[in-house]
Structure 1
Amino acid sequence: MAKISVTYDYFNDMLCPMHMLIHFGKGNFDWSKNYIYIPVNSPFKRKRAEDILDDTFSLSVASTELVMNKDKEGYFGIHIPTVKSRINKLRGEAFVPHFQLEDIEQFVIQIGDIEEILAMDKNVQYTWR
């Protein structure tokens, strides 16, 4: 089971959620799935940016890899084949270190991207901040 936490930082003098961390550990993610769905349950386990370990192999998830499912209210999804396709493109770039899918320990997602995907069907700002 993945551990979900959120980093907070100050924005316009207010403490705001910035990134969601989905930590599953090295070799513990099932890359054969098409989608995974993550609940948006607040309050979140709060972390400061300084609390993130530098030696954790993380992968940022792009907004184009996020999906919504109207049957799963309060959840957003990650389309895993799109993530893998991007990883394969990265591997061909000169300055990207060699790694295997099993090396990735957590996903990092910008909170703004999650808010956008969850508000798509309502065309309003998501208010869980």
Structure 2
Amino acid sequence: MRSTVYYDYYEGEKVPTWFVLNFGTGNLDWDAEYLYIPIVAPFEVHGIEDFDNEILSASVTLGDLTVSYEKPNTIGVYLPRIKETITNFGGIYEDVTQFIIQVGDIEEVLQMPAIRNHLEW
């Protein structure tokens, strides 16, 4: 699996936009409940104009992401929901070879344990 961060420019500043995980054909266990992705720098970095939109991709939304105390420095992707979304749009999930995740969503999810630790339940 290969992780790439795509950057774009916002108000003249270079900002990370997409985290793309390319897992290729047949390399993802779609029967698993979660796929845990290590979020450890450095990443392969490209400009957003270098993104290959010919590769069959699935967008991973904030609601599909989680963190695990047992797996530090990772984010989890809830695969049953991704499969359902692809299927509902008439796609074949086994044909998808990469996930696209908004960097802002990753940042938000990685902050969740810190927020939880400060709340009194």
1:19 corresponds to 2:18: yes
Structure 2: how far apart are the matches of 1:23 and 1:7? 13
Aligned to 1:105: 97
Structure 1: how far apart are the matches of 2:79 and 2:8? 28
Aligned to 1:126: none
Q: Percent identity?
A: 36
1:60 corresponds to 2:52: no
Q: Deviations over 1:48-68 (max 9, x none)?
A: 112111210111011100011
Aligned to 1:85: 84
Tell me the CA shift for residue 102 of structure 1.
Answer: 2.0
TM value normalised by structure 1:
0.82
Structure 1: how far apart are the matches of 2:94 and 2:71? 28
Which structure 1 residue ranges, 5 or more long, are not aligned? 92-98, 124-129
Aligned to 2:118: none
Amino acid at match of 2:83: K
Q: 1:28, 1:102 within 8 Å by CA — same for their partners in 2?
A: no
TM value normalised by structure 2:
0.87
Relative to its length, the structure with more helix (as a share) is: 2
Structure 1: how far apart are the matches of 2:51 and 2:7? 11
CA RMSD of aligned residues (A): 1.3
1:119 corresponds to 2:111: yes
Which structure 2 residue ranges, 5 or more long, are not aligned? 116-121
